[in-house]
Structure 1
Amino acid sequence: MAPEISANRWVAFGLWAAIAVYAAARVCQIYADSLPILLIVLLHVIPPALLAMIHGGGLYGRRGVLAFTAICLGTAALFESLSLRTGFPFGRYHFTGVMGPKLFGLPFLLALAYLGIGYCSWILALLILRYQDTPLRGTRIFSAPMLASFIMLAWDLSMDPQWATIDRAWIWEDGGAFFGVPVSNFRGWYLTAFLFFLAFAVYLRSRPPPAPISLGFWRAPIAMYAVCALGNLLIRPLAATPLAVADASGRIWRSADVRDVCYTVSLLVLTPFALLAWLRLREQAATGCIEKR
């Protein structure tokens, strides 16, 4: 067996093992009453980050995936830390102990969440725009980051009210119009994501596009994003969850409404992004642009 074939099989195993563990984590959230919350958070965050490192290494090489990681984590840490201290760009908030250890008020696991979902959002954008095998030059430098930022923002729309207003992983100090979350948070998310995607696009400008890669390889980030979307539909109220919760401003929200909006965004926004990327992939495989293996 050729070493390259063997290596490809190990990469495929790593990618789909990460997806399987993440899918199991989404099922585990049903049993949040009996499992440690930190374990559930770890299983939600680490598998997507591992997929990003494995897939990014196969697509961009070690140097490329390290560049993406450094740009993503550096930008995220900068803007999260800035907002914790000044309220810009997300709004005024603070983290509780739900997400585990913190450095200067910022949980380590939050940065890994940016990495995993950020990378999947980037790949989905490339596939939807059919940029995965073309150089990122001219208007592509801006259009790919713009779409990738919307795809990543959809993820935050689908989970922020649940994690903040009900689970209290972080607290919006002035509450907010979107079920306890301020609209400034979503503007800040888009800005942060756009800047690190743009920086990575500029980094790739002088690099040739990746060599033809198999269909299964491209499917992995789509599957991870789809599991994220559909996994949100498994969110169940904890036994101790009250029928209504108050945000930090004192405004009352029905717990069922908070969950319903998370379900709706997951089904009607995240899922179409994954489906569109999947269909684009099928189209390109049918025309021979992507290897069917």
Structure 2
Amino acid sequence: MSVDAGPGTSARRGGVRALAAVAWVFGALVVLAQIVYSMTDPDERIFTTVASVVAFAVASVCDALARFGPRAAALLVAVAGGGGLLAETIGVHTGFPFGEYRYTGTLGLEVVGVPAVVPLAWVMMCWPALLVGRALVARSGVDRPFWLVVGVGAWALASWDVFLDPQMVDAGHWVWTHPTPGLPGVGGVPLTNYAGWLLVAVLMMAALHRGVGQPRVSRELDLRAGPAPMLYLWTYGSSVWAHAAFFGRPVVSLVAGVLMGLVALPFAVALWRAHR
């Protein structure tokens, strides 16, 4: 891994390596927490749920800091964390843009009616989704079509919720007032939710892609800068397996697997090509 030449290059390299190491530690904690989740009784999963989200959010922020610098990390927290809290606050009190829903109080501390862990979930997946969008729109630098990157990144983020929402509804963490119509075979979650996710994801991707600038490492997908690309693929693969074999929802596994797979599978190829 390299950074731009100039004064302080060695120090910057050391800083990138240290941040990347921290990001990888928290990435490993994500995997561990999710494995423990699968071995825990349903009534005792709240700790591993929150731990997984917090660890993933920390890994994403550290990855952004190592890969792009302080501006990117601050922007991620502001756009995904602050924007996620704003969207959820408006959503839970007005029904826009996701549809009418309410949290049931099972996710711990709440801020203006929204569990504090929820904005962290936006942070954790928003960052790898941006990397997916940038990687799959293969033209380099500023020449990449802006709205194509935004669209692909938004799909990478919003399609994940086809896995997430049915799982959280089934666990009793939130409920929908009008859960129909929904996606075929994906019960309990209205189509308005996914439309709202796509809208919010587009706004977040646009702000992040515009603001983070160019990476300070030699390759944008360099895994030595952090685990975010692998965590996106881990989330996809583990979600496909969990819904099919663990949660007993094979249709959700199929539908969400196809929708998120439209970007996850090409991204896996892009990541492999970047490191072969």
Q: TM-score, normalised by structure 1?
A: 0.79
Do the aligned residues in 2 keep the contact of 1:19 with 1:48 (CA within 8 Å)? yes
1:71 to partner: Cα distance: 1.4
Shift of 1:34: 6.9
The secondary structure found in structure 2 opposite 1:171 is: strand
Could you tell me how far 1:31 is from its partner in structure 2?
2.4
How far the C-alpha of 1:72 sits from its partner, in A, is 1.6
Between the aligned residues of both structures, percent identity stands at 20
Runs of 4+ in 1 over 6 A off after TM superposition: none
Shift of 1:35: 6.9
Give me the whole-angstrom Cα distance separating, in 1, the residues matched to 2:42 and 2:214: 50
The count of residues paired between Structure 1 and Structure 2 equals 259
User: What corresponds to 1:226 in structure 2?
Assistant: 233
Moved more, 150-159 or 11-20: 11-20
Rounded to whole Å, the distance in 2 between the matches of 1:144 and 1:122 is 8
User: Which residue of 2 is the match for residue 75 of structure 1?
Assistant: 83
**Separation (CA, whole Å) in 1 of partners of 2:28 and 2:68:** 24
The alignment yields a C-alpha RMSD, in angstroms, of 2.4
Residue deviations 1:75-114 (CA, integer Å, cap 9, x gap): 2222211111111110000001222111111011000000
Q: CA deviation at 1:123?
A: 0.7
SS in structure 1 at match of 2:218: coil
Cα pair distance change 1:13/1:265, threshold 3 Å: farther
Higher mean C-alpha deviation, range 117-126 or range 3-12: 3-12
1:89 aligns with 2:117: no
Larger Rg over CA atoms = 1
> What SS class does the counterpart of residue 100 from structure 1 fall into?
coil
Where structure 1 has 5 or more consecutive residues not aligned to the other structure, the ranges are: 238-255, 287-293
- Residue 127 of structure 1 deviates from its aligned partner by 1.0
Pairwise mapping of residues 155-194 of structure 1 onto structure 2 (< 5 A)?
A: 155-164=160-169, 166-178=170-182, 179-194=187-202
Structure 2 runs not aligned, ≥5 long:
1-9
Deviates more, 1:211-220 or 1:173-182: 211-220
The match for 1:212 among 206, 218, 225 is 218
So what's the TM-score if we normalise by structure 2?
0.84
